[in-house]
Amino acid sequence: MADSKAAGGFIGNLGKIYGGYAGGFIVFTLILAVLEQMGVPNKIIGYCFVILTIGVYAYIGILSRTMDLSEYYVAGRKVPALYNGMATGADWMSAASFISMAGGIYLGGFNALGYVLGWTGGYVLVGILLAPYLRKFGQFTVPDFLGTRYEGNGARLCGVIVLFCASFTYIVAQCFGIGIITSRFLGIPFEVAIFVGLLGILVCSMLGGMRAVTWTQVAQYIILIISYMVPVVWLSTKDYGIPIPQLTYGQALQEIAQFEAKLGVTKHFTDAFTNAQGQFTWTEFNNFWALVLCLMIGTASLPHILMRYFTTPSVREARTSVAWSIFFIFLLYFTAPAYAAFAKLEVYQNVIGQPIAQLPAWVQNWSQVGGLLTIKDANSDGILQLSEFVINQDIIVLSMPEIAGLPYVVSGLVAAGGLAAALSTADGLLLAIANALSHDVYYKMIDPKASTARRLLVARGLLVGVAIIAAAVAGTRPSGIIQMVAWAFSLAAAGLFAPLVLGIWWKRTTKIGAITGMMSGFAVCLFYLVMTRYAPETFKDMFGTNLWWGIRNISSALFGLPVAFVVTWVVSLMTPEPSKEMQDFVDSIRVPRGVVAGAA
Amino acid sequence: MAEKLNAAQMQRYWTRTSRLMWSIFVLWIFFSFVVPLFAVQLNTIIIAGFPLGFYMAAQGSLIAFVVLCVWNAVAQNKIDEEFGVHED
């Protein structure tokens, strides 16, 4: 893989290579299962999963090292649609999807399905509005497109600012997830665990850039999808005799409803738009659609996803690749509600109503990870009541195998999957940030004469720097994973969606229009987020209320988006029409074949 | 490199592409917002244990999204080939 000839052989044999790899991973898991039965302690099994999988990623990362710019930034533009789909899947599914989403559904019931909808439907927008056209444009980064379409470094810099804020928020959440897993399975303190995980991120991306990240992400997708399926398929088979949890959890939902009646739960799992008391409210209704909208638009605005479509060999492959991406993502997302339902059923069956003194060891183990699980005998009867069992959404997926009494090897497997999800997304994000800073800021704006070696050196230095800062911020535990990720989506949506879409679909969009639109939309979104989250009470009172129409700040883009579109539209009409050359340029990116005018 | 499309062809090509985009866009709105927002009403129907509103938000709409993306890829490729602007 070190030279281009060998890389050709590598591309040709992808099926064999990854097929063998998946088989090897399954054999490895089975060996550990046997070892567990022979009495090897849990701790060793946890170590094996975490260390061996990171070792494999590091190996791929080192094999894919490169000193070629096109390889470093866009994997040489030869990633076939299917594999780009898998890599996008891993890039996409982060700690939030893998670790927290099913937990969110477990706690929130129907209302949390907004995440399931919002994190899939956005690909329709990517496919019809953006991916093929960005691929035709064919440069290295998303700000590259803004800088070319809106003629100059002003738009480019605005793009970099939005990209940085959104991606950095996102990556902090991933570091947090990596910290939880490594802390629990290696048995080290959370703050140390974050930096151990950081090494795992850096070995994948530092030497090989996009090329290394692409091929590790394919490997990570395979691990994460296997490990997500195993516990649910197991429970589905155990409870209902059919290994297709996505079909059988209807029965689990019915059993949950019976337990809810028995335990006196007023907020039913499947009831839509209910508040904590189980009553329908318009606030929940509005927050649901607002969240779905923000997540979907955010999907179509996040640079680490959009830049994956720069790596396919053609425009046609970019489109096909979007379809593969959503298919691979769909596999996990339509399983997540099943995961939540089975977890809920297990808790009702095996945990609630048990004598607290007899609870198994997992309770003890998880209670030690930063207060994410608490059990308090409030009425001192020695029996665990529903209200005495408080579990954080970020550990439900990871602890479910133990709750259900599955062998520990399944827990190790799920941990490896969660780690794959968090690492792959962190890598993609890190690369998006470092590429924007090194390519757009350093090369395009500061030193256009920089040599290739110097550009790659700067890119790698920035990569390490950003990673360390992100890990340090994550160490302060700023918020829950899923909230931080949702903020990232809102920031990206408010700042980038309007200039990207209008830049392709409305020729009249002008440079000034796009810049003012981008900045005002982003500012409104950021203002709402910061004000509702961090502002002191007196400041909040100046605006009369904390939340505008009860919309939570995870959907801040709801206010930023319309502002971005309206400002772009009005200012564009007030400023002179873009030049003939620019309009020809827009025409040229709309058609798959033909020269792109204006792109050097 | 094939000859470039003239202005009229370009216009027609883009009209067809836009029409495809809007068709999918409308269906996207339907499955993203219209269906899930009637969840309360749909939940009164129960199929194989699933309240229908819950099922649509958890699986049904997702399947529709996958189909929409595949449809977009196939239909747009056809348009490209018809206008001779597909890549070799």
How many residues are there in chain B?
Answer: 88
Model confidence over A60-76: pLDDT tens digits? 888 888 888 888 778 87
Cβ contacts of A295 on chain B, cutoff 8 Å: none
Q: How far is A387 from chain B (nearest CA, A)?
A: 25
> Residue B66: is its pLDDT beyond 70?
yes
Show the tokens assigned to A197.
């995980």
pLDDT at residue B61, rounded to an integer: 92
From residue A99, alpha-carbon distances to A200, A231, A380, A400 in Å are 18, 14, 32, 11
pLDDT at residue A441, rounded to an integer: 77
Query: For A240-247, what is the mean pLDDT?
Result: 86
pLDDT at residue A537, rounded to an integer: 61
Whether residue A592 and residue B70 make contact (CB cut-off 8 A), yes or no, is: no
- How far, in Å, CA of A541 to CA of A206, rounded? 47
Give me the residue from B37, B58, B68 closest to A124, CB to CB.
Answer: B68
Give me the residue from B48, B50, B69 closest to A124, CB to CB.
Answer: B69
CB A434 within 8 A of CB A462: yes
Percentage of chain A exceeding pLDDT 90: 14
Model confidence over B2-36: pLDDT tens digits? 456 777 888 888 899 999 999 999 999 999 998 88
pLDDT at residue B4, rounded to an integer: 67
Give me the residue from A113, A270, A590 closest to B14, CB to CB.
Answer: A590
CB B74 within 8 A of CB A322: no
Cβ contacts of B23 on chain A, cutoff 8 Å: none
pLDDT at residue A3, rounded to an integer: 42
Other CB atoms within 10 Å distance of the CB of residue A304: 27
**Residues within 8 A of A (CB atoms), B 48-67 only:** 48-51, 53-55, 57-59, 61-63, 65-66
Cβ contacts of B2 on chain A, cutoff 8 Å: 593-594
Residue type, A547: L
Query: For A70-84, what is the mean pLDDT?
Result: 83
Whether residue A319 and residue B47 make contact (CB cut-off 8 A), yes or no, is: no
DSSP annotation of B48 reads: T
Percentage of chain B exceeding pLDDT 90: 36
**How confident is residue A326, by pLDDT bands cut at 50, 70 and 90?**
very high
Domain ranges within chain B, ordered by starting residue: 18-82
pLDDT at residue B68, rounded to an integer: 94
> Residue A327: is its pLDDT beyond 90?
yes
Show the tokens assigned to B45.
């129907």
Nearest Cα to Cα of residue A443 among A429, A458, A433, A431: A458
Q: How far is B55 from chain A (nearest CA, A)?
A: 9
Query: For A215-231, what is the mean pLDDT?
Result: 91
Helix (H) or strand (E) holding A451: none
pLDDT at residue A399, rounded to an integer: 86
Percentage of chain A exceeding pLDDT 70: 95
Whether residue A323 and residue B73 make contact (CB cut-off 8 A), yes or no, is: yes
Model confidence over A421-466: pLDDT tens digits? 888 888 888 888 888 888 877 787 778 887 888 888 888 888 888 8
Model confidence over A258-277: pLDDT tens digits? 888 888 787 888 888 888 77
Q: How far is A272 from chain B (nearest CA, A)?
A: 6
pLDDT at residue A539, rounded to an integer: 58
pLDDT at residue B1, rounded to an integer: 40
- How far, in Å, CA of A539 to CA of A244, rounded? 52
Least confident of A209-213, A570-574, B24-28: A209-213
CA A451 to the chain's CA centroid = 34
> Residue A596: is its pLDDT beyond 60?
no
Q: Angle at CA A216, nearest 5°, toward A212 and A219?
A: 155
CATH 1.20.1730.10 fits A4-359+362-368+394-590, yes or no: yes
Query: For B48-75, what is the mean pLDDT?
Result: 90
Give me the residue from B40, B49, B73 closest to A250, CB to CB.
Answer: B49
> Residue A7: is its pLDDT beyond 60?
no
Cβ contacts of A591 on chain B, cutoff 8 Å: 5, 10, 13, 85
Whether residue A117 and residue B72 make contact (CB cut-off 8 A), yes or no, is: no
Alpha helical stretches, state H, A370-477: 396-403, 408-435, 452-474
Q: Which residue of A has its CA nearest to B71?
A: A323
Cβ contacts of A586 on chain B, cutoff 8 Å: none
Show the tokens assigned to A294.
């923000």
Model confidence over A19-32: pLDDT tens digits? 888 899 999 999 99
Query: For A383-388, what is the mean pLDDT?
Result: 81
**How confident is residue A560, by pLDDT bands cut at 50, 70 and 90?**
confident
Give me the residue from A128, A251, A334 closest to B59, CB to CB.
Answer: A334
